[in-house]
């Protein structure tokens, strides 16, 4: 098999890249190790930045998002039983975010790709990327039990944190930056209308909690839990009781309970691999970097990377100049590190570390009070949350 761009992974990064390349008249093949149902139902991100929304629309993949997605103009910060709303459009000159689940973005992009795009192979596991630093890189893969080779002009590793693409960058040329956190998130999906019309980020002595949503009738909620927690060890009624404690306000706000349909625990990690390119192999999305979910940045960073790659390759096809491809890693990393900083700030602002000192507890409250009383501090949060421009 031969193609211009071999794409490993059909998460948001790989699927959107295939769409952007198709629109630019560049052919690609997508290899995905899991089956279609798995990719379409894996519960993950829920928040799209303004820039991501604009890109999906321009790519012709925004129709259902515009019908079913929920535009959000702010979030609520909750601490010391108080509530503070951050108004995004007022602070950022009109920017907002969209609640539209990653599962739905993937479903829309898969349907478009199968209808109009190039090959998208499910249950096709990439085994290795070879010849990344030659003029003709290859992906060795196994599909339906048979090993095959995909010959490419470029390979883009969109295969997530546990993928194989990153391993093709020689260790001697790689640098990694990492931080793990001594807590995770217990996430639930529940068949109950969200108890608030915007997301609520709650700071509490017992740990962080987040109220989010998928649709007007489905809530998504998270609790900070110790690292290594088993989701099944939490009984449903204990989850609701703990959420109630952490969201409690002085003004009598009520959390609505409902049947829990899914629960799982996510570890928290910050990770960056530099550079994001080796020869004709490019890394995009979680394959190159991870952020803790507190800033809602992971999917949006993945979108930023593939937009940057698609533009750079289109430029090369049109002008013969590899200038933008050569700048790919530096361009992406500038945005990646801003998102790392923002996600780290949000995480350390809102979570209670198991070894936190009384001094650090007071500092957290002071940071929250500062956000609630300074337009400058609030503007910084609103700009970070609604997103950094795609280069």
Minimum gap (Å) between residue 185 Cβ and ligand PHB: 8
User: 7 near 141, Cβ under 8 Å?
Assistant: no
> Out of 47, 112, 210, 332, which residue is the one contacting ligand RFL (CB under 6 A)?
47
Q: State the binding string over 165-204 for ligand RFL (x if CB under 6 A, else -).
A: --------------------x-x-----------------
Q: Which of 6, 46, 117, 137 binds ligand RFL (CB under 6 A)?
A: 46
Active-site annotation holder among 273, 297, 328, 351: 297
Distance CA 106, CA 224 (A): 27
The answer to whether 317 is a known catalytic residue is no
Q: How far apart are CA 186 and CA 221, in angstroms?
A: 8
Among 113, 195, 294, 308, binds ligand PHB (CB under 6 A): 294
Size of the site for ligand PHB (CB under 6 A): 9
Q: Smallest Cα–Cα separation from 269: which of 355, 366, 170, 162? A: 162
Whichever of 29 and 199 has its CB closer to ligand PHB, that residue is: 199
Contacts to ligand PHB from residues 73-92, by CB under 6 A? none
Sign of CA dihedral 80, 82, 86, 90: negative
String of b and e for 79-118 (b: at least 16 CB within 10 Å)?
A: beeebbebebeebbeebbbbbbbbbbbbbbbbebbeeebb
Q: Which is nearer to ligand RFL, 272 or 296 (CB)?
A: 296
Residue 385 is among the residues annotated as catalytic for this protein: yes
Please pick, among 201, 222, 292, 328, the residue that the annotation labels catalytic.
201
Q: Is 297 a catalytic residue?
A: yes
Choose the contact partner of 220 out of ligand PHB, ligand RFL, none; CB within 5 to 8 A by kind: ligand PHB
Nearer CB in complex with ligand PHB: 108/198: 198
Binding window for ligand PHB (CB under 6 A); candidates: 50-58, 232-240, 249-257, 293-301: 293-301
> Is the alpha carbon torsion for 331, 332, 333, 339 positive or negative?
positive
Helices and strands, number each (H, E), in the chain: 12, 19
| Closer CB to ligand PHB, 134 or 264, in the complex | 264
| Segments in the chain forming alpha helices (H) | 12-23, 36-41, 50-58, 63-68, 88-92, 102-116, 236-247, 298-319, 323-326, 328-350, 358-373, 375-386
CB 290, CB 161: distance < 8 Å:
yes
Residue 65 touches ligand PHB, criterion: CB under 6 A: no
Binders in 267-296 for ligand RFL, by CB under 6 A: 285-286, 293, 296
Under the binding rule (CB under 6 A), the answer on residue 296 touching ligand PHB is yes
Take residue 341 and report the two structure tokens written for it: 């900083």
- Give me the 152-191 binding string for ligand PHB, x by CB under 6 A, dash otherwise: ----------------------------------------
Tell me, yes or no, if 72 is annotated catalytic: yes
Does position 368 interact with ligand RFL (CB under 6 A)? The reply is no
Residue 375 CB-density burial (10 A; 0-12 exposed, 13-18 middle, 19+ buried): exposed
Q: Using the rule CB under 6 A, give the single segment among 38-46, 54-62, 192-200, 335-343 that binds ligand RFL.
A: 38-46
Q: Tokens 């939490």 correspond to what residue?
A: 234
46 is a contact residue toward ligand PHB (CB under 6 A): yes
Q: How far is the CB of 294 from ligand PHB (least distance, A)?
A: 5
Contacts 24+ apart (CB under 8 A), 230-235: 230/265, 231/186, 231/263, 231/264, 231/265, 232/263, 234/186, 234/263
339 binds ligand PHB (CB under 6 A): no
9 binds ligand RFL (CB under 6 A): yes
271 is catalytic: no
Alpha carbons 142 and 154: distance in angstroms, whole number: 19
The option from ligand PHB, ligand RFL, none interacting with 266 (CB < 5 to 8 A, set by class) reads ligand RFL
The footprint of ligand RFL on residues 109-148 (CB under 6 A) is 125-126
Hey, which residues between 211 and 230 contact ligand PHB (CB under 6 A)?
212, 220
Q: Work out the end-to-end distance of the chain between its first and last CA atoms, rounded to an integer number of angstroms.
A: 32
- Catalytically active residues, by annotation: 72, 201, 293, 297, 385
Binding site for ligand PHB (CB under 6 A): 45-47, 199, 212, 220, 293-294, 296
């Amino acid at each position: 098999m031969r193609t211009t761009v071999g794409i490993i992974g059909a998460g948001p990064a790989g699927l959107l890249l295939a769409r952007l390349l198709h629109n630019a008249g560049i052919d690609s093949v997508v290899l995905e190790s899991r089956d279609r149902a798995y990719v379409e139902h894996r519960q993950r991100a829920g928040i799209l930045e303004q820039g991501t929304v604009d890109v999906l629309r321009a790519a012709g993949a925004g129709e259902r998002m515009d019908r079913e997605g929920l535009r959000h103009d702010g979030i609520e910060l909750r601490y010391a039983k108080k509530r503070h709303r951050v108004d995004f459009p007022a602070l950022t000159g009109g920017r907002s975010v969209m609640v539209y689940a990653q599962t739905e973005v993937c479903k829309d992009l898969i349907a478009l790709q199968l209808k109009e795009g190039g090959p998208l192979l499910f249950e096709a596991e990439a085994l290795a990327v070879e010849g990344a630093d030659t003029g003709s890189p290859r992906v060795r893969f196994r599909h339906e039990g048979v090993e095959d080779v995909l010959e490419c002009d470029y390979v883009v590793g969109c295969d997530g944190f546990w993928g194989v693409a990153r391993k093709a960058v020689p260790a001697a040329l790689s640098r990694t930056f990492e931080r793990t956190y001594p807590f995770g998130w217990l996430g639930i999906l529940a068949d109950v209308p969200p108890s608030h019309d915007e997301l609520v980020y709650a700071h509490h002595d017992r740990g962080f909690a987040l109220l989010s949503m998928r649709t007007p009738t489905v809530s998504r909620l998270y609790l900070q839990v110790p690292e290594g927690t088993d989701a099944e060890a939490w009984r449903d009624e204990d989850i609701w009781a703990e959420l109630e404690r952490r969201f409690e306000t002085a003004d009598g706000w009520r959390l609505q309970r409902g049947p829990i349909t899914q629960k799982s625990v996510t570890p928290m990690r910050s990770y960056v691999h530099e550079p994001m390119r080796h020869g004709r192999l490019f890394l995009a999305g979680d394959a190159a970097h991870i952020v803790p979910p507190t800033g809602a940045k992971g999917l949006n960073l993945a979108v930023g990377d593939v937009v940057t790659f698609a533009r750079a390759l289109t430029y090369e096809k049109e002008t013969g100049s590899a200038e933008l491809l050569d700048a790919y890693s530096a361009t992406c990393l500038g945005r990646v590190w801003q998102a790392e900083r923002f996600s780290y700030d949000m995480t350390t602002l809102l979570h209670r570390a198991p070894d936190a000192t009384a001094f650090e507890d007071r500092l957290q409250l002071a940071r929250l009070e500062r956000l609630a009383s300074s337009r400058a501090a609030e503007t910084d949060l609103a700009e970070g949350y609604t997103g950094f421009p795609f280069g």
